[in-house]
Chain A
Amino acid sequence: DTGVSQNPRHKITKRGQNVTFRCDPISEHNRLYWYRQTLGQGPEFLTYFQNEAQLEKSRLLSDRFSAERPKGSFSTLEIQRTEQGDSAMYLCASSFLTSTDTQYFGPGTRLTVL
């Protein structure tokens, strides 16, 4: 499968715990995006990378959230001291910088904070 993959697909955690999600983009894609999506809403932008550089972060990304893309390939999104409001689907997308720059999304990681 050469699409975007995300792990784990589901994560249940207790409030206050830390969680880490991984995204593996399509191999030749140099851009990688993280989004959060709650029920009935469109994806909300969190952050994005071009190669290993984190170019922009949303104001939604509090200091409890951190993302890395150390070698310009896979990326991790960590949430520290989880809160119930963090419960959502976390989507990763990748694209190759062109005039159209179409994003290809992964299946998402569904986080439930109890």
Chain B
Amino acid sequence: KNQVEQSPQSLIILEGKNCTLQCNYTVSPFSNLRWYKQDTGRGPVSLTIMTFSENTKSNGRYTATLDADTKQSSLHITASQLSDSASYICVVSARTGTYKYIFGTGTRLKVLA
């Protein structure tokens, strides 16, 4: 069964600190993996997308990694800011099927001053 699991479920850190969010998946055949940021009460916004051949992708202070062998991805946030407080959702796409997106339940990050 295609699944995406994220950990931790929630995280609280102090402003300026770094953090890493995890995403494990069992989606096959794998096409790509996205990380989305969702502010409270808003729709998700894409941060990064990685295909099978990519193992790292950066977007400002956000760096995503992908290990296609172990089917794991991480999202590293450097020098966190208050505006990073949001839910971060991992979405994995399969290469087959009409609808092929598997969403994780997200990690809720709270950055404190």
| Contact (Cβ within 8 A) A43 B99 | no
| Contact (Cβ within 8 A) A48 B93 | no
In the assembled complex, the CB of B80 is this many whole angstroms from the nearest CB of chain A, namely: 21
For A55, A93, A103, A104, the residue with the greatest tally of chain B CB atoms inside 10 Å of its CB is: A103
Of A55, A56, A104, the contact of B46 (CB 8 Å cutoff): A104
Q: Which residues from chain A sit less than 8 Å from chain B, CB to CB?
A: 4, 40-45, 48, 55-56, 89, 91, 93, 100-108, 110
| Contact (Cβ within 8 A) A42 B89 | yes
Contact with A along B96-111 (1 / 0, CB 8 A): 0011010111101000
In the assembled complex, the CB of A2 is this many whole angstroms from the nearest CB of chain B, namely: 15
Query: How many A-B residue pairs lie within 8 Å, measured between CB atoms?
Result: 49
Of B41, B44, B46, the contact of A110 (CB 8 Å cutoff): B41
In the assembled complex, the CB of B18 is this many whole angstroms from the nearest CB of chain A, namely: 24
| Contact (Cβ within 8 A) A42 B43 | no
Bound: A100/B49 CA distance, A: 8
In the assembled complex, the CB of B64 is this many whole angstroms from the nearest CB of chain A, namely: 14
| Contact (Cβ within 8 A) A4 B43 | yes
Contact with A along B30-57 (1 / 0, CB 8 A): 0010101000011111100101000000
In the assembled complex, the CB of B14 is this many whole angstroms from the nearest CB of chain A, namely: 23
Tell me whether A55 and B99 are in contact in the complex, defined as CB-CB below 8 angstroms, given that A42-B105, A107-B42, A107-B43 are known contacts.
yes
